[in-house]
Amino acid sequence: MSLSTTAKTRALAWAASVLLAAACSGDPVEGSGGESESDGSESTSESSTSGSMTSGPSSDPSTTAGTTPGTTDPDPSTSASTDNPTTGVDPATSVDPSATTTIDPSTTTDDPTTGDPTTGPGCVEVEWFLDGDNDGYGDDNQTTLACDQPDGFVDQGGDCDDGDGNRNPGQEELCDDQDNDCDPLVDEYSPSNEMCAGCTLGEFGDSVYWFCEATANYSGSRTECMNLGAGVDLAIIGSQGEQDYIGGLIAGAAGDVWLGADDLVDQGTWVWVDDSNVADGYQNWNLGEPDNAGNAHCMVARPSDGLWVDRKCGDPNRRLCESAG
């Protein structure tokens, strides 16, 4: 069956383009017989026509699909024509090189500019105390901040004398006119210190006591107590339990013992040395006391029974000192 006029025309046009390309490149073209090729079988002509319609003329016959008459185009589903003609990479599976990942700095936890150890990669800085005497306790006034322990520093302070390894919060108090345990009291009670400088030492609840046989007037006795450390004064009795303990501590004394109460400011109104009113709390007055006999305005406890009576403030008496802790 002969080809139609249109088919012949297309075949001739294709052959001409192939010959022209070969002439330009100097390569011979096999099977380019001009119109004689179009006189072939119907199947060959139809294949050639189909090839010319599918691939069209190409300036490079070596890379044009279907350029040889009588052949069919490759399966489009497997053809390299799906690849990017520039890169040869399938755009459906390739990664867009312009698609970059950015990090929002507001969502990061590290802050390299501030050096904040709670948010950066380092540890949290802690306070270290200079330990000059190597007793494990440092000087509260000589500190530094660091993540790791610096040489010569420890992690606990409280040393009251960083030049003496025998004075620190871990020591027991001794009778040596020093504050051994840094509390800061001097020569108070400890299991190693029950008697000191003529005083019997004791402890009840949060309080420590000094019962001293040396005599002085009321004002002088207060001064002696205050010299023992901050917060020390003549004793305040606040409960029956404390009264019972005090009674045992002063039992056998040779005379009355000063306690910390008087009515010097307002006669008849007795107040403790901490300015609290005696009448508002526990009381252990002897019957008929206070009676202000002979202008008695200061309180003592009798060692025989522990009862309270008023005495003249200038009388020389023993003293009971207390630190209420």
226 burial via Cβ count (<10 Å: 0-12, 13-18, 19+) = middle
Q: Decide: 222 and 233 in contact? Cβ < 8 Å.
A: yes
**pLDDT at site 27:** 52
**pLDDT at site 324:** 84
- The residue with tokens 């917060």 is 231
H/E element, 244 = helix 240-250
Read off the DSSP letter of residue 216.
E
pLDDT lower than 50: segments of the chain: 1-3, 29-74, 76-87, 89, 91-95, 97, 99-101, 103, 105-120
Partners of 41 in the β-ladder: none
**pLDDT at site 251:** 96
Classify domain 195-323 at the CATH class level. alpha beta
**pLDDT at site 121:** 64
Angstrom distance (rounded) from CA 226 to CA 76: 107
Could you tell me the residue ranges of all domains in the chain?
A: 5-71, 113-171, 195-323
**pLDDT at site 44:** 39
Residues 129-171: pLDDT tens digits?
999 999 999 999 999 999 999 999 999 999 999 999 999 999 9
**pLDDT at site 322:** 98
Angstrom distance (rounded) from CA 162 to CA 140: 10
Q: Using DSSP, state whether 317 is helix, strand or coil.
A: strand
Pairing mode of beta strands 257-262, 317-323: parallel
Pairing mode of beta strands 207-216, 232-234: unpaired
**pLDDT at site 184:** 79
